[in-house]
Amino acid sequence: MSNERLILLCGLHSLGFALFHLAFWKLFDWKHELRKVGLPTRAITQILNLRLVYVFAGIAAICFLFPAELYGTPLGRALLLFMALFWAGRTIEQFVFLRVNRPMVHVLTGLFVLGAVLFTLPLFG
């Protein structure tokens, strides 16, 4: 598979996670669940989630608009490595902080690994 196609898949992966994070309020019933914690925790949780949406949407846009620059320049390759390490770290954190044996958790873990692989592959192409 060409580097351009791999990077477009990286963009789709990032866009998917941006949309997924936008759904957190409904998926996790944050309107009610976050009332159980103090205001600082409630605010930080929502702010961090929105910042992740921003990062994922931005990475998706960069992947869609500048695929050649991502695999063909030192700065682009650094960004690909940064995202590969982001997803590798997220995979590890899954095992440290979310020790839940549920199918959806395993699917998410697989998607985190997929992100690490997708962002790594263009570095070797």
Residue 117 and residue 89: Cα distance in Å, rounded? 12
Around 121, how many Cα atoms within 13 Å sit in the side-chain half-sphere? Answer: 15
Is there a contact between 111 and 76 (Cβ–Cβ < 8 Å)? no
Domain boundaries, the chain: 3-123
Q: Tens of pLDDT along the chain (125 residues)? A: 899 999 999 999 999 999 999 999 999 999 999 999 999 999 999 999 999 999 999 999 999 999 999 999 999 999 999 999 999 999 999 999 999 999 999 999 999 999 999 999 999 98
Q: What is the pTM of this model?
A: 0.95
